[in-house]
């Protein structure tokens, strides 16, 4: 399938989980894919195993590092057509134990991580009259969950950013959207299950049941399902879809 032949995609947080699934899917559709992340070994592994074409180390909270990584990617594969802002982090604690530093951390990674990479590519997209900016948000950007107030606040902010920028760029050939997965079968969720088991003494099955109880399908989302939603948004058939927050959550939203 060559749906994206000739396109250059950057995927942040591309070393594992949803980011790697997106990189693999876009590469399979013909795009040249550059992944960004903080773990050089993980990034190199994705490239060596054929799920991306190139990688650059960058902390998405550092705008200078992001600019440098994007410029390197451009030197390898040309201007960026598709920016998938996937890098993120989640902190869990009751609100009264969620310090201002926790809120700042969640906003730095989950919101500014999106705006930094968007700043790095948007001007060139507008000049060329084409671009796709896609933020991997969360159902936590569309509803509340207990004990993750800082994470929910940051993901809600991402949705607001997407809706505003979509209107600002509506006449430029650029679309700006968010994909909002529910709990997804990734290393991060596996780590959450381990924490639940350690704190509560529950079995893995019981802990998993707690995580998926809000999903009417009663299951974890597959990273490939999120990647397929991103692929559709990258295509010409989605050129009128902008400012949307698309839930991939089994009917939870």
Enumerate the active-site residues: 151
Task: Please name the residue that has the structure tokens 């057509």.
Answer: 81
d(CA 201, CA 84): 38
End-to-end CA distance of the chain: 31
Which DSSP symbol is given to 112? I
Given a contact cutoff of 8 angstroms between Cβ atoms, the answer to whether 3 and 233 are in contact is no
Among the listed residues 212, 205, 190, 204, the one whose alpha carbon sits nearest the alpha carbon of residue 17: 190
Q: Is 82 helix (H, G, I), strand (E, B) or coil?
A: strand
Burial environment of residue 179 by CB neighbours within 10 A (0 to 12, 13 to 18, 19 or more): buried
Side by side, the strands of the sheet bearing 8-12 are 54-57, 32-37, 8-12, 82-85, 131-136, 174-181, 245-248
Q: Residue 96: what are its φ and ψ, rounded to 5°?
A: -65, -15
Given a contact cutoff of 8 angstroms between Cβ atoms, the answer to whether 236 and 167 are in contact is no
Q: Is 187 helix (H, G, I), strand (E, B) or coil?
A: helix
Given a contact cutoff of 8 angstroms between Cβ atoms, the answer to whether 3 and 27 are in contact is no
d(CA 163, CA 156): 11
């Amino acid at each position: 399938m060559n749906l994206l032949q000739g396109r250059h995609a950057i995927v942040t947080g591309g070393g594992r989980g949803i980011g790697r699934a997106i990189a693999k899917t876009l590469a399979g559709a013909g795009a040249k894919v550059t992944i960004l992340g903080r773990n050089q070994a993980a990034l190199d592994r994705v490239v060596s195993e054929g799920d991306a074409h190139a990688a650059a180390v960058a902390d998405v909270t550092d705008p200078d590092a992001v600019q440098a990584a994007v410029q390197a990617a451009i030197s390898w594969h040309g201007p960026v057509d598709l920016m998938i802002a996937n890098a993120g982090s989640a902190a869990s604690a009751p609100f009264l134990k969620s310090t201002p530093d926790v809120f700042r951390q969640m906003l730095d990674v989950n919101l500014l991580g999106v705006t930094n990479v968007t700043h790095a590519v948007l001007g060139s997209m507008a000049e060329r009259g084409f671009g796709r900016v896609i933020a991997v948000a969360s159902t936590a950007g569309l509803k509340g969950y207990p004990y993750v107030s800082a994470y929910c606040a940051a993901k809600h902010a991402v949705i607001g950013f997407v809706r505003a920028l979509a209107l600002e760029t509506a006449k430029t050939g650029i679309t700006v959207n968010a994909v909002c997965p529910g709990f997804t079968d990734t290393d991060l969720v596996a780590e959450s299950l381990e924490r639940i088991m350690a704190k509560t003494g529950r079995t893995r099955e019981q802990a998993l049941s707690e995580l998926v109880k809000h999903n009417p399908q009663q299951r974890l989302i597959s990273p490939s399902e999120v990647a397929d939603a991103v692929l559709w948004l990258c295509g010409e058939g989605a050129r009128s879809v902008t400012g949307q927050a698309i839930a991939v959550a089994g009917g939870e939203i």
